[in-house]
Structure 1
Amino acid sequence: MAEKAKIAILISGRGSNMAALIYAAKSHDCPYEIVLVACNDCDASGLKLAEAEAITTFAHSHKSMSREDYDDVMHDAITRSGAEYVVLAGYMRILSDGFVRKWANHMLNIHPSLLPKYKGLDTYQRAIDAGDKVAGCSVHLVTAELDDGPVLAQTEVAILPDDNAERLARRILIAEHQLYPATLAKYVSREADPDWILEQVRERALALAETHERESFGSPGWRAGSEKTGKYFAYFTQKLHGEASVGLLVKTSGLDEQAALVDADPELYYIPKFFGKSGWIAVRLNIGRTDWDHVSDWLYKSWRMVAPKRLTKMIDIADQF
């Protein structure tokens, strides 16, 4: 089994969603482990539960501290724990922009409404007052704007005719306890999902000038130039020509560079079947923790080798200014 993703949970109180995540993590096939529970209230009952479950805790009051200074303290505790993701579970602090940037795409939150409806507080009563038939909860990525990040998953909860905010809140909390662990597990496992990997490659390849996608031997490939005369600069490999790895095939300058890459990092690079004799290299994309900037660099480098000269000349001229 692949190495488990390391999670830090931030709480402010009892931490019922924290408990759901902790117990889900005890399953042998759960793709994450909880390495830290941190809190801005030293007396929060959730800390006692985390300690009882043998999880490292950190507590520090936010009183008399600026938002930025306090977030620096929390960031330091999280990084020292080795956490790769931050999960907010009833954390009642508004985060500084700097903290959010540091954990961009690696911080999740759960909110008790079907976003984008009812951001902020009093979500249960607002849904009832609006005459909604359903309420629910949403797991989303955290961005600088409150409750505005991309939604990863939602669960609808029916609003009953005699509901009040308290009764509705109790049922939505049950839904939260189901949704949060499942969504977190899927999110931290996404870099091993071939469909997700393909979408990341596709987005980056098609962002290059005059690029289009065309299937080759049953796998997606990308060409630079016109539909009629374009040349391939990248292929997505998932069992392409019998290859076992999920990866990206790109062009190198030749067999010497190809061999040097494999020698330098044989876990990341390998010589692909069929294409290897022409100097192509395969970059593994399903080993986890993919450096997507590195992938973008490879796509651009390979694209330049086959792109129409008028395009590369224009880029070279622009780079001089």
Structure 2
Amino acid sequence: MAEKARVAVLISGGGTNMAALLYAAKADDCPYEIVLVGSNNPDAGGLKLAVAEGVPTFALPHKGMARADHDQAMHEALVAAGADFVALAGYMRILTPEFVSKWEGRMLNIHPSLLPLYKGLHTHQRALEAGDTHAGCSVHLVTADLDDGPVLGQTKVAILPGDTEDSLSARVLIAEHQLYSRTLAAHVSRENDPAWIEERIGSLALGLPETSSRTAHGSPAWRVGGEKSGKFFAIFFNRHHGEQAVGILVKTSGEDEMAALVDQDPDIYFRPAYYGPSGWIGIRLDRQGVDWDHVRGWLERSWRSCAPKKLTRFLDVADQF
């Protein structure tokens, strides 16, 4: 089984959604584990549950602290816990854009409405007043705009005759507990999915000038240059030639650099059996915590080594400024 993703959960109160995530994580086939429960409220009831279940906790009151300073302290606690992802579960703080940017694509939140409907507070009452037939909940990626990130999953909950805000809220909460753990599991698992990895590489590779996609010995690959004179600068690697890795092959300066990189960090780099003698190195991407800026940097470097001089000349000049 693949290494489990390390998830930190932030709460401000009783933490029922945190509890749902925590108990889902106890299943052997769950792709994540809870490594920290943090809060801006030292009296949050969910902290006691986390302690009882053997999960490390961190609490820091926000009163008297500048928002940016509090966010930085929370960020440092998440990093110290080795978190790969953050799940907000009733964390009643508006986060600074700086904090959000540090966890871009890796921080989720659950909201008690069918987004984009009813962002903010009092969602159930607003659904009742609008005469809706259904309420519900949404799990979304967190962005700097409140309740505005891409929606990853939703569950509809029927509104019954005579429903009050409290009765509707209680049923939606049941749906939240089911939806959050399922959606979080799917989100953290995608980074081990070869199809997702290939798509992510393709979007980065095709973002470089004058590139196109084509197969190389049956594998998806990307070239720079014209139809006849173009050269491959990146090749998708999916467990070929006995190597149990999913990743990308890019060009190095030669065997010496390749050997040094593999020696330095064998968890990231590998020497591909077929392409290695030609100066290609493999970068493993089916692992948690992939630094995609690092991958982008390798793609750009490999692209430069293959691109016609007319393309690289302008970039070389731009790099001087």
TM-score in terms of structure 2 length: 0.90
Q: Distance in 1 between matches of 2:57 and 2:320?
A: 52
For residues 134-181 of structure 1, give each alpha carbon's deviation from its aligned partner in whole angstroms, at most 9, with x where no partner exists. Answer: 322111122221111222222222333443332222221111101111
Q: Is the 8 A contact 1:217 1:240 kept in 2?
A: no
Structure 1 counterpart of 2:38: 38
- How big is each residue's C-alpha offset from its partner over 1:73-119, in whole Å with a ceiling of 9 and x where there is no partner? 43344344333332211111222333323333332210011222211
Q: Partner letter of residue 144 of structure 1?
A: A
Distance change in 2, residues 1:303/1:40 (3 Å): closer
Q: Is the 8 A contact 1:141 1:152 kept in 2?
A: yes
- CA separation of 1:112 and 1:227: change in aligned 2, threshold 3 A: farther
- 8 A contact 1:219–1:240 mirrored in 2: no
Structure 1 runs, 4 residues or longer, greater than 4 Å off? 240-243
The residue number in structure 2 matching 1:212 is 212
CA contact (8 A) 2:8 2:37 kept: yes
Deviations 1:255-301 (A, max 9, x none): 33333333333333333233233222222222332222221122112
Output aligned runs, 1:20-31, within 5 Å.
20-31=20-31
- How much does 1:244 deviate? 3.2
Structure 1 CA distance, aligned partners of 2:41 and 2:252? 55
Aligned-partner Cα distance in 2 for 1:166–1:38: 27
Contact 2:3 2:287 in 1 (8 A): no
In 2, the alpha carbon distance for the partners of 1:60 and 1:273 equals: 51
Q: Does the aligned pair in 2 maintain the 1:235–1:249 contact within 8 Å?
A: yes
1-10 vs 26-35, greater mean Cα deviation: 1-10
In the aligned structure 1, how far is the partner of 2:287 from the partner of 2:139? Answer: 26
C-alpha distance 215-174 of structure 1, shift in aligned 2 (>3 A): same
The residue type equivalent to 1:264 in the other structure is: Q
Residue matched to 2:50 = 50
Once residues 96 and 287 of structure 1 are traced to their aligned partners in structure 2, the CA distance between those partners, rounded to angstroms, is 28
Gaps of 5+ in 2: none
Q: CA deviation at 1:240?
A: 4.2
Confirm or deny: 8 A CA contact 1:41 1:60 kept in the other structure.
yes
Which range moved further: 11-20 or 264-273?
Answer: 264-273
What is the rounded CA distance, in whole Å, between the counterparts of 2:279 and 2:79 in structure 1?
Answer: 40
Q: Map 1:263-282 to 2 at 5 A.
A: 263-282=263-282
Measured in 2, the distance between the counterparts of 1:34 and 1:129 equals 38
Q: Is the 8 A contact 1:11 1:46 kept in 2?
A: yes
Rounded to whole Å, the distance in 1 between the matches of 2:99 and 2:256 is: 44
Please say which of residues 167-176 and 283-292 is displaced more in the overlay: 283-292
- Spell out the pairing of 1:1-321 with structure 2 (5 A cutoff): 1-240=1-240, 243-321=243-321
| Aligned-pair CA distance for 1:36 | 2.3
**Which amino acid in the other structure matches residue 85 of structure 1?**
F
Please tell me the residue identity of whatever aligns with 1:246: V
Structure-1 separation of matches of 2:46 and 2:267: 41
| Alignment-mate amino acid for residue 45 of structure 2 | S
Q: Distance in 2 between matches of 1:262 and 1:57?
A: 37
Secondary structure at 1:189's aligned position in 2? helix
Residues 174-211 of structure 1: CA distance to partner in whole angstroms, max 9, x if unpaired?
Answer: 11101111222222233211112112211110010010
Provide the TM-score with structure 1 as the length reference.
0.90
> Relative to 1, partners in 2 of residues 1:133 and 1:247: Cα closer, same or farther, differing over 3 Å?
same
Counterpart residue type for residue 37 of structure 1: V
> Aligned partners of 1:121 and 1:97: how far apart in 2?
20
* 2:84–2:288 Cα contact (<8 Å) kept: no
Contact 1:212–1:227, Cα closer than 8 Å, also in 2: no
1:195 and 1:170, CA in 2 relative to 1: closer, same or farther beyond 3 A? same
Are the aligned partners of 2:15 and 2:89 in contact in 1 as well (CA < 8 Å)? yes
Distance 1:64 1:114, change over 3 A: same
| Counterpart residue type for residue 260 of structure 2 | A
Q: CA deviation at 1:127?
A: 2.4
* RMSD of Structure 2 on Structure 1 (CA): 2.3
Q: Secondary structure of 2:132's partner?
A: coil
Report the CA distance between 1:311 and its aligned residue: 0.7
Which region of structure 1 is more displaced relative to structure 2, 46-55 or 206-215? 46-55
Separation of aligned partners in 2, 1:270 and 1:47: 42
Whole-angstrom CA distance in 2 between matches of 1:99 and 1:318: 30
